Chain A
Amino acid sequence: KQEVTQIPAALSVPEGENLVLNCSFTDSAIYNLQWFRQDPGKGLTSLLLIQSSQREQTSGRLNASLDKSSGRSTLYIAASQPGDSATYLCAAVHQTGANNLFFGTGTRLTVIP
């Protein structure tokens, strides 16, 4: 069974700092890996999707990387802003089966003005 782990569980940074969120997964036979943002009590917003054949994806101040061989992905946020405060979840999709997402427990980010 795929297990996804995110470290740290919580992170506080001052506004303007660059930061990295980490995600590791146990089964490298993934189809893709996604990063989501979740605001308190709300649903999930997809941020970036990296196909298994790709190494990274970028969108604005966000950059996500994928290293299948080591079972790791990182989400880099540049020049953090208070509006970035949320929980960030990574999720892996297996190569076979229903293509459902296996989620980590998330990193709760607080950007301090």
Chain B
Amino acid sequence: DTGVSQDPRHKITKRGQNVTFRCDPISEHNRLYWYRQTLGQGPEFLTYFQNEAQLEKSRLLSDRFSAERPKGSFSTLEIQRTEQGDSAMYLCASSPDTGKEHFGPGTRLTVT
């Protein structure tokens, strides 16, 4: 069990640019979640995958956001035309069908 990994750990981008983050879950975990956390707040749910199927998306996930999990293993989260309000920590978590979620270290995005 190597844990959940995320890449990159930090990303600084200019407003209007596109960014993509990657999450590698624990290998035997079917479920994968993306959360966003802004300063001083708890994480907020963005989206959820069961294997390769994206089963639920939060209203926070605007049209500029897209997430994929093409083979039911790693996942990517892309933000198009970034805005300053997108600056946050993006957290990925995975879990088995029944069991608690294991979180990665997060990707901190700063939009200048």
Q: Which residues of A are interface residues toward B (Cβ below 8 A)?
A: 4, 32, 34, 36, 41-46, 49, 89, 91, 97-106
- Residue ID in chain A nearest B101 by CB atoms: A101
Q: A43-B106, A102-B45 are in contact. List 8 more A-B contacts (CB 8 A).
A: A43-B103, A44-B91, A97-B56, A98-B48, A100-B48, A100-B56, A101-B33, A106-B42
- Residue ID in chain A nearest B46 by CB atoms: A100
Q: Which of B44, B95, B103, B108 contacts A44 (CB 8 A)?
A: B103
Known: A101-B45, A103-B42, A103-B43. A41 touches B33 (CB 8 A): no
The distance in angstroms between the C-alpha atoms of A36 and B101, with both chains bound, is: 11
Q: Which of A34, A43, A45 contacts B91 (CB 8 A)?
A: A43
Contact residues on B (Cβ < 8 Å of other chain), bracket? 20 to 34
B99-112 interface mask toward A, CB cutoff 8 Å, 1 = contact, 0 = none?
A: 01111111010000
The distance in angstroms between the C-alpha atoms of A42 and B91, with both chains bound, is: 10
15 contacts between A and B (CB under 8 A): A42-B105, A43-B91, A43-B106, A44-B43, A46-B101, A46-B103, A98-B55, A100-B33, A100-B56, A101-B43, A101-B45, A101-B101, A103-B43, A105-B41, A106-B42
Residue numbers in B under 8 Å from A89 (CB-CB): 42-43
Identify the interface centre among A43, A49, A97, A104: most chain B CB within 10 Å of its CB. Answer: A43
State whether A49 touches B105 (Cβ < 8 A). no
- Quote the shortest CB–CB distance from A54 to chain B (angstroms): 13
State whether B56 touches A105 (Cβ < 8 A). no
State whether B108 touches A91 (Cβ < 8 A). no
Residue numbers in B under 8 Å from A32 (CB-CB): 100
B31-58 interface mask toward A, CB cutoff 8 Å, 1 = contact, 0 = none?
A: 1010100001111110010000001100
